[in-house]
Amino acid sequence: MAKRLFSGIQPSGNLHLGNYLGAIKQWVEMQDDNEAIFCIVDLHAITVAQDPAELRRKTLEIAKIYLAAGIDPAKSTLFIQSHVSAHAELGWILNTIARMAELERMTQFKEKSSDVAKRIQQRTLAAKVLQEEVIEEDPGRRLARLQLERESLQRYASVGVGLFDYPVLMAADILLYDTNVVPVGDDQMQHVELTRTLAERFNKRFGETFVIPEGKITKEGARIMGLDDPLKKMSKSAGSVYNYIALTDDAQTVRKKIKKAVTDSGSEIVYHDEKPALKNLINIYTLLSGKTSQEIEKMYVGKGYGDFKTDLAEVIVGFLTPFQERLAAISDDTVLAVLKTGADKARALAAAKMEQVREHVGFLE
């Protein structure tokens, strides 16, 4: 049976292979048999400072990337989050049932707020232990510790409320459309879980209103790791350009980045958890070529990293070149028209849901 899909990407930073393999690729595959809605979440992007002109440019670029990757506007709805004000409205209402402790647990918030929140928790705990055990601390150490604590607190105090509240807005995105399935990368699964919790809580308190959605990840694409560090995910906001392959990288850049990608010890091409760098590269190879990891292992028996990397770079270039040609051929006018139609459709669906929500909450008509 056809299901309602909803997913989105932030128009910030450079879209990379992780975004494509973790999210967009499965969207394209699922749009034929489902009723799909894809969003460009600009309200989420402004939870960290954005240059307004750059934000506008990125928003348009992401919409074009959706189309070039194969999202078909005849099948799927494509729109910009800020064009449908119900997202912000439902986000506010859900804020009133979300709990501080739930949001404090969100890994992405902890990462984006430079781990300050987590460190504060740890330090508060450590301070308690110190007090309880009445450990005599040397005054120099104590001063240094207190200074660190103060700095942490100051940094924590400057973290934006929007960044903290971000998952509640994401829950609103999903719940507005009676979404059944949310195809995402692994890093968003915790937010989908929170969405389920909020939907259940709302339904219990105000009566049946929201469909309880499920997150969906793919086996190999759920967590594409950084090329410069296979223990951290590939990320738009990575410090080094050698962390990721951007969807807009040219062939030369791709070859250089793959050549520089870190590898594991040994020289055999094997797919194994103990070889995380290689496993990541084989996952990328698998997803872009359709070959299984076993087939790839066989192809490189007796060969080394050099051959494997040269071929992998060509597999990536083979995907990116036609993709970038399609991207360049999409005009601003074409994409703006698609986004307008999409927003009109989304607005109508969201308005119907908001009518129910307002009535259930007790707002006067």
Rounded least distance, CB 326 to ligand TYM, Å = 20
Q: Looking at beta carbons only, is 152 or 288 nearer to ligand TYM?
A: 288
Residue nearest to ligand TYM (CB): 22
Q: Looking at beta carbons only, is 73 or 215 nearer to ligand TYM?
A: 215
Cα separation, 175 vs 25, whole angstroms:
23
Rounded least distance, CB 115 to ligand TYM, Å = 18
Candidates 236, 256, 291, 345; catalytic one: 236
Is 244:18 a contact under the CB 8 Å cutoff?
A: yes
Is 289:315 a contact under the CB 8 Å cutoff?
A: yes
Handedness of CA 292, 293, 294, 296 (dihedral sign): positive
Tokens of 6: 């909803």
Strands (E), the chain: 4-9, 35-40, 77-80, 181-183, 214-216
Candidates 25, 64, 216, 233; catalytic one: 233
- Report which DSSP code applies to 362: T
Q: Looking at beta carbons only, is 152 or 183 nearer to ligand TYM?
A: 183
CA trace torsion 357, 361, 362, 365 (10° rounding)? -20
Rounded least distance, CB 360 to ligand TYM, Å = 22
**Edge-first strand listing for the sheet containing 77-80:** 77-80, 35-40, 4-9, 181-183, 214-216
Binding site for ligand TYM (CB under 6 A): 6-10, 18-19, 22-23, 41, 44, 170, 173-174, 182, 184-185, 187-188, 191, 221-224, 233-234
Q: Looking at beta carbons only, is 166 or 305 nearer to ligand TYM?
A: 166
Active site residue 236: yes
Candidates 58, 64, 112, 279; catalytic one: 112
Q: Looking at beta carbons only, is 152 or 192 nearer to ligand TYM?
A: 192
Cα separation, 186 vs 169, whole angstroms:
19
Which residues form the catalytic set? 112, 233, 236
